[in-house]
Structures are given as C-alpha cells and as structure tokens.
Amino acid sequence: MSDAIHELWQRIERVLEQHAPETAATLAPPATDQEIDALEAAISQALPADIRASLRMHNGQCDPSRCHAFCGEGMLLATSEIADRWKMVTEIDEDNRFSAAPDQGPWWKKTCIPFTDAEGNMLCVDMDPSLGSRTGEVVCHVHDSKIERGLGASYQSWLTSLAERLDAGRFRIDDYGYLWLDTKVLPK
C-alpha cells in the first residue's frame, strides 16, 4: 500500500510543482513515527494503513493563509491538527448530543478520523467496524448537518481520484496563483 500511496503523491506533486508551485511548497515534510503514535493515542484508534502511508509522505499542509487548498475539500491536516479536530468535534457532540437526535443520521462519530478541513466541514475516514466491508470509507462531517456518506471507498481511492483529476488537468489557476480543482466526480 505504501508504494501505491507514494506513487499517487508523486503524481500530485508533479502537477502542483508545474502549475501551482506556491501550493506545492505548502506540503509539509513527513510525519515522524512519534507524531503518528501520538495521534493514534489521542484519538484512541489505529490509523488505516493508507492514511499512515500518506502522513509518512506529507504531514498535512503548512499554510497559515489557508489559501492553498488543492483538493477541493479544504486543507490537508497534520497529525496534531487531526487530533485537535477530532477532540473538538467529539467534545461538542458529547456536550450537545447532536448525534443522538432522532430522525436523522449522526452528526459525528468517534470512529471518524478527519484528514481535511474546510472551515468546519471535514473529510474523514469512518473506521466503525459495524460498517463491515465499508469500514474505512470516506465521509464528510458537515458542521451543520448529518454526516455525508459514500465519498470514497477508502482514503486511497479518494487520493486516487484527486491524482486523476490533477493529471487530467481538471483544475484552473486563478489570477492570484491559487489552484481550484474541478470537484465533479469522473465517471467510472
């Protein structure tokens, strides 16, 4: 799996370096084993192998301006940010019991591990074992609605879709040099 993640990141980096070098420069160096271990301890669960491999390539993005998101779903989170977002949303949910509301799907699940943030909306992998073969699917935690499901079978499938859109030129560069990804899903 790590070879596949490495190859996907090489494809993504190649497009970013050619068309959006300032965005490419926001990709953080690899996470250390200690940072990954601290994340797993903070969220009380193991990371899926594909996210672990990705964090070993880039530990999120370093962009204080938050203007260089290239994936369409916000900024890639570093290990410490993943832990912080997970803790924050878990505490909000426990204090307000949003996920216990009848007649709607859950607002948050502790089994979700966020990996992007777009002003409170976060892409996550849901590691709930009760999902069976869907364990590890990509979902979106929406800050004011229920979780949106079915955005990818896994983190690796999501990253593959991102690489494919970039490879296919399905993006534009605005007047300020920021990359905007076409978020339409490619037909299979």
* Rounded Cα–Cα distance for residues 171 and 16 (Å): 11
Any domain includes 87: yes
Q: What is the largest CA-CA distance in the chain?
A: 49
The domain total for the chain is 1
**Cα–Cα distances in Å, from 84 out to 11, 61, 71, 100?**
29, 15, 21, 22
Predicted local distance difference test score (pLDDT) of residue 150: 82
Any domain includes 119: yes
Any domain includes 85: yes
Residues contacting 168, CB < 8 A, separation 6+: 186
* Rounded Cα–Cα distance for residues 113 and 78 (Å): 12
Containing domain of residue 44, as a range? Answer: 2-181
- The percent of residues in the chain predicted with pLDDT above 90, rounded, is 60
Between strands 179-181 and 171-173, the pairing is antiparallel
Q: Write out residues in the chain with pLDDT < 70, as ranges.
A: 1, 97-105, 183-188
Host H or E run for residue 157: helix 155-167
pTM: 0.90
Any domain includes 188: no
Predicted local distance difference test score (pLDDT) of residue 103: 53
Q: What is the CATH number of the domain that holds 48?
A: 3.40.1580.10
Any domain includes 187: no
Any domain includes 186: no
Any domain includes 51: yes
Any domain includes 8: yes
